A and B are shown apart, each in its own frame.
Chain A
Amino acid sequence: MIQTILNALSLGGTYALASLGLGLVFGVMRLVNFAYSELITIAAYTLVMTNQLPIMVSFLFSVVVTSLAAVLMELLIYRRLRGAAPAIMLVASFGLSKLLQQVYELCFGALPRSASIAPWMSGELKFAGVSITNASLITAILTIVLLLAMRYLLNKTSFGIQLKAASADFRTARLLGVRANHLISLAFVMSGVLAAFVGAILVVGNPQVEPMFGMNMTILALVGIVIGGISSLPGSALGGFIVGVILSLLNTWLGNGRVYSYSWLFAAVFIILLVRPGGLLSKGQEMERV
């Protein structure tokens, strides 16, 4: 039971991180970044390829690579598309995502690359008669810490307040002196850092990295930001968390029927969207602007 709750929390937390990474970028430039999945993938590849280094060094390395990739993505592609219709940017990011997948396939091969990353993570911890895996405990703690850190960052620092202002109304924020290029680049860096964390959490659970490694996570995180309220950062995180928790619980409860857990999840999403088309934390009017 405790294991189930912990699993749900850690999966929910992971999805919340991924959704937040997507939501940060969406907020500043109305871009649904499908290629986020390739950021998660590159983070995982970096961890697997630098497996011989100490884990912290390897992880730092992957954070640097991932955020660099995110910034490059913005500079080379998305900067030129700024102001285009959201649908155009969505398709462009879909194309970029496919492009990077093919590049990974060319570089690393289509078959999974694997390495045992932090083997002690799969150990179990006995605690008052219940046993829980180290990985789920650490993931749960890590995501809670990260979410609190993000909360602090968004609410208390100048960068965070600028980000929130830009998400609410980008044009007005610019008029009030928010530097657009600067802020957007920073949002991409943050999104890259979050992707690196998500990639690391995923790769510990499943060290088989292949070119489409981040795809599933990203699609579900996207669904998360839509049900949470696409133009609100806390909404994104909440939506992601809900998706993760529902998925984890469905996987536990459905038993043999767990192959259909995605269908149930998506059905739940449909219902939420029908009741609240703008997402759980939306204020109604915001949809019109998008």
Chain B
Amino acid sequence: MFAKSWVKGLTRFSFTEIFIPLIIVAGSSLWLSGRSTSLLLFIKFTLCYLMMVLSLQVFVGNSGVLSFGHGSFAMVGAFVSGLATAPLVIKQHAMSLSNLWQPLVDFKLNLGMSLLASAIAGGVFAALTGGFLMRLNGLAAGIATFALLGITYNILFNNNHIGPSNQALPGVSQFSSLTLPLVLVLLAMVLVYFYNLSRLGRTLRATREDNMASRGLGINIVRVRWMSFMFSGLLAGLAGAMYAHVGGAVQVQDYYLGFTFFTLAMLIVGGSASLWGAVLGTIVVSGVSQILLMWEQSTPVLGVTIHLPIGTRAIVIAGMLVVILLWRPNGISNGNEFKLPNFLSKIKVS
């Protein structure tokens, strides 16, 4: 009742669906990050991944069209934000940047503005490429987004006028605390949730469920996909920039196949059709990954130490993706939003 009058047009708004995931993300981040500096770094990277997975959920989850191309928006975001915040002395003297285009050397923004700029850059890039890509359907679209990733990587990897090419860009300013990345991610979660409930989000899901029928209902598929692609590119650009500000450096290889695979795996493991799926997938995959990493380094996790050979982690993550797809093709969340267990929700109804 309250929900309907609160935001017009939201037909299925429910407090638990958005607030419990928000509390889980904020609570676990704050709790874990206080325990050790390595966990703090892990939480920061996980928040970047979560931002990326949210971006993928907006487009891939709602449209059902696979995109391998989001890494290119993250690359662009990272390059914009990295070049905007790297100190002048580094840009003038680093070997890898000796050919940098002059306007880029002078390009300077503070941290907040550079994040904004990278989000805009990601969104604009998505808007430009999406105009072409969204005309394609099904698998052709999936492969074409791969081509987009290939082009962006190929150019950024080889051209030393617009960036550090195949070297790392050092000295990118880092987040001083957890607050800014956490707030950004929580904000993105709220936005994505409302987007999923909005007219645009629901129309896009209709095109996913039945391409022909949705066209018959007068939905302009290219247009709704394109708008979501833009929003999704915006978040991906932001995610790439955040990743650069956590690591303190930009390297184009960081956003290529491994990154694409890891974030897609998170989305699919959790369940691509819902916000909760994106959050759950990120938590599960990065949690498992971190535990295995600590065991590879023979560090105890909650008092338990298992000595694993290096490389186990990557095998387990890839294996997990395959097994989840065999066992539960819609992911752990099965495509549902967060729901309290039955006995709890019954208490609240009265």
Chain B minimum-CB-distance residue to A35: B322
Contact A90 B139 (CB under 8 A): yes
Interface stretch, picked from A6-14, A102-110, A132-140, is A102-110
Contact B136 A223 (CB under 8 A): no
Chain A minimum-CB-distance residue to B258: A98
**With the chains together, A263 CA to B261 CA distance in Å?**
21
Q: Which B residues between 166 and 223 are near A, CB-CB below 8 angstroms?
A: 211-212
**With the chains together, A9 CA to B150 CA distance in Å?**
24
Q: Which B residues between 253 and 267 are near A, CB-CB below 8 angstroms?
A: 257, 261, 264-265
**Neighbouring A residues of B158 by C-beta, 8 Å:** 259-260
**Neighbouring A residues of B155 by C-beta, 8 Å:** 260, 263
Give the residue of B154, B314, B319, B329 whose beta carbon is less than 8 angstroms from that of A88: B329
Contact B265 A87 (CB under 8 A): no
Contact A263 B151 (CB under 8 A): yes
**Neighbouring B residues of A90 by C-beta, 8 Å:** 66, 139, 142
Known contacts: A102-B314, A262-B150, A270-B144. The answer to whether A88 contacts B325 by CB under 8 A is yes
Instruction: Count how many chain A residues have C-beta atoms less than 8 Å from C-beta atoms of the other chain.
Output: 43
Known contacts: A87-B64, A94-B264, A95-B318. The answer to whether A287 contacts B140 by CB under 8 A is yes
A244 shortest CB reach to chain B, Å: 16
Write the B246-290 contact mask toward A (1 if CB under 8 angstroms, else 0): 000000000001000100110010000000000000000000000
B88 shortest CB reach to chain A, Å: 29
**With the chains together, A230 CA to B137 CA distance in Å?**
12
B347 at the interface (CB under 8 A from A): no
Contact B154 A91 (CB under 8 A): no
**With the chains together, A279 CA to B261 CA distance in Å?**
26
Contact B322 A96 (CB under 8 A): yes
**Neighbouring A residues of B42 by C-beta, 8 Å:** none
A81 at the interface (CB under 8 A from B): yes
B19 shortest CB reach to chain A, Å: 30
Write the A262-275 contact mask toward B (1 if CB under 8 angstroms, else 0): 11001101100110
Chain A minimum-CB-distance residue to B325: A92
B273 shortest CB reach to chain A, Å: 12
Contact B146 A77 (CB under 8 A): no
B135 at the interface (CB under 8 A from A): yes
**Neighbouring B residues of A274 by C-beta, 8 Å:** 132, 135
Give the residue of A98, A219, A273 whose beta carbon is less than 8 angstroms from that of B261: A98
A35 shortest CB reach to chain B, Å: 10
B321 at the interface (CB under 8 A from A): yes
Contact B147 A87 (CB under 8 A): no
Chain A minimum-CB-distance residue to B159: A260
Instruction: Count how many chain B residues have C-beta atoms less than 8 Å from C-beta atoms of the other chain.
Output: 40
Known contacts: A88-B329, A287-B138. The answer to whether A222 contacts B146 by CB under 8 A is yes
B95 at the interface (CB under 8 A from A): no
B125 shortest CB reach to chain A, Å: 15
Known contacts: A81-B325, A91-B268. The answer to whether A277 contacts B154 by CB under 8 A is no
Chain A minimum-CB-distance residue to B211: A288
Q: Which B residues between 310 and 350 are near A, CB-CB below 8 angstroms?
A: 311, 314-315, 317-319, 321-322, 325-326, 329
Contact A87 B329 (CB under 8 A): no
**With the chains together, A262 CA to B265 CA distance in Å?**
26
Q: Which A residues between 46 and 100 are near B, CB-CB below 8 angstroms?
A: 77, 80-81, 84-88, 90-92, 94-96, 98-99
A145 shortest CB reach to chain B, Å: 29
Contact B154 A92 (CB under 8 A): no
B9 at the interface (CB under 8 A from A): no
Write the B45-62 contact mask toward A (1 if CB under 8 angstroms, else 0): 000000000000000000
**Neighbouring A residues of B135 by C-beta, 8 Å:** 274, 277
**Neighbouring A residues of B300 by C-beta, 8 Å:** none
Known contacts: A277-B135, A279-B140. The answer to whether A266 contacts B326 by CB under 8 A is no
**Neighbouring A residues of B329 by C-beta, 8 Å:** 81, 84-85, 88
A226 at the interface (CB under 8 A from B): yes
B124 at the interface (CB under 8 A from A): no
**Neighbouring B residues of A278 by C-beta, 8 Å:** 140
A18 shortest CB reach to chain B, Å: 14
**With the chains together, A279 CA to B151 CA distance in Å?**
20
Contact A267 B151 (CB under 8 A): yes
B309 at the interface (CB under 8 A from A): yes
Contact B314 A277 (CB under 8 A): no
Contact A106 B309 (CB under 8 A): yes
Known contacts: A99-B315, A105-B311, A223-B147. The answer to whether A270 contacts B325 by CB under 8 A is no
Contact A81 B142 (CB under 8 A): no
Contact B139 A32 (CB under 8 A): yes
Contact A260 B315 (CB under 8 A): no
Contact B322 A226 (CB under 8 A): no
Contact B139 A230 (CB under 8 A): yes
B224 at the interface (CB under 8 A from A): no
B143 at the interface (CB under 8 A from A): yes
Known contacts: A106-B311, A219-B146. The answer to whether A91 contacts B325 by CB under 8 A is yes
Beyond A103-B315, A277-B135, A287-B137, 5 extra complex contacts between A and B, CB < 8 Å: A77-B326, A88-B325, A90-B66, A95-B321, A106-B309
Give 3 nearest A-B pairs by CB, closest first. A99-B318, A95-B321, A266-B147
Q: List 9 A-B contacts (CB under 8 A).
A: A87-B139, A92-B325, A95-B319, A99-B322, A215-B257, A222-B146, A260-B155, A269-B147, A274-B132
